[in-house]
Amino acid sequence: MKILVLIKMVLDTVEEIKIDPSGKKVDTDAARFILNDVDNHAVEEAILLKEKYGGHVTVLAVDAPEIDDALFTAAAKGADRIIKVTTGMEQMSTQTMAKLLHSAIQNMNTQFDLILTGVQASDDIDGEIGPSLAAQFNLPYIGMAVKVLPDPQGRSTEVVTELGGGLYASYRSSLPVIVGISAAEKPPRYVPIMKVRMAMKSKKIETIPAPAPPPGSKIDVLKLYKPVVTGGAAMITGTPEQIADNLVKIFRDRGLS
């Protein structure tokens, strides 16, 4: 089975996020980039499928800060090919990124059976990668997947999706299909830094130059801003002891302890 995984870097939302002076984009110079968490799950699901059924895993990304690390880490986990699309663009909308990936995949001349990607990202302002790509390739798309169960003949697959509240829905799709992963069947594995370093020596990141810049987004960002806090929490300050005393009083006043 030939599996393609699409990954992207996102801003680490644990850090403070600054807005560019233009007011229309984030300031990436001041930001820390991490691999989109659900994309990490998509890599894991691909490696699990390869381990179970055999096959070949390619991981593809559009160039971004720290992307080389993410690609080498995927290789250390078992990805066979790692590729990035070089663009010279600093920021782009999800729709634009999906268009770049579409032309890159066309240039690869490989027939993939399964294309996996994270179901969403925190900056998906005009769409998600998976369905946007599915529309361009005229392929079926299933999102919120927690299980991918291909049949032994490799002609179709069952996909289990999570609806919330303990309810799941399962679907059957012919292959190829694009699947938006919400969680891999097992937690993403940890790879020791030594293995990543070995991958850096033994694997090469292939590069595909992006074609002419694709058309921009169909929505205009008027402005970005920090959320306006109305109300918000009454903050309790002091020493840990004072804080604990205050909290206990709040709980007891409400008959909670």
Site for another protein in 132-151 (CB under 8 A): 132, 134-136, 139-144
Q: Please select the residue that binds another protein; options are 20, 68, 80, 162, rule is CB under 8 A.
A: 162
Rounded to 5 degrees, what angle do the CA atoms 201, 204, 206 make?
A: 170
Cβ atoms of 72 and 196 closer than 8 Å: yes
Instruction: Pick the closer one to another protein by CB: 25 or 204.
Output: 25
Scanning residues 226 to 255, which ones bind another protein (CB under 8 A)?
226-227, 229, 231-237, 240-241, 243-245, 247-248, 250-251, 254
Amino acid identity at 129: I
Nearer to another protein, 182 or 203 (CB): 182
| 4 versus 139: smaller Cβ distance to another protein | 139
- Provide the phi-psi class of 164: left if phi over 0, else alpha when psi is between -120 and 50, else beta: left
| Interface mask toward another protein for 94-123; x: CB under 8 A | xx--x--------------------xx-xx
Contact positions with another protein (CB under 8 A) in 63-82: none
Cα–Cα dist 224/19, whole Å: 7
Q: CA 150, CA 94: separation in Å to the nearest integer?
A: 28
**Residues 94 and 126 sit within 8 Å (Cβ to Cβ):** yes
Assess contact for 78 and 191: CB atoms under 8 A. Answer: no
Binding of another protein by 177 (CB under 8 A): yes
Q: How many whole angstroms separate alpha carbon 58 and alpha carbon 93?
A: 23
Which of 103/182 has CB closer to another protein? 182
219 binds another protein (CB under 8 A): yes
Nearer to another protein, 59 or 181 (CB): 181
Cβ of residue 136: shortest distance to another protein, in angstroms?
A: 6
What is the spatial distance between Cα 177 and Cα 112, in angstroms, rounded to a whole number? 9
Q: Are strands 81-86 and 56-62 parallel, antiparallel or unpaired?
A: parallel
Smallest separation, CB 204 to another protein (Å): 31
Determine, following the binding rule CB under 8 A, whether residue 164 of this chain makes contact with another protein.
Answer: yes
**Which residue among 19, 48, 89, 200 contacts another protein (CB under 8 A)?**
19
Residue 21 interacting with another protein (CB under 8 A): no
CB of 176 to another protein, least distance (A): 9
Contact by Cβ (8 Å): 179, 147: no
Residue 231 zone, left/alpha/beta (φ > 0; ψ -120 to 50; rest): left
42 binds another protein (CB under 8 A): no
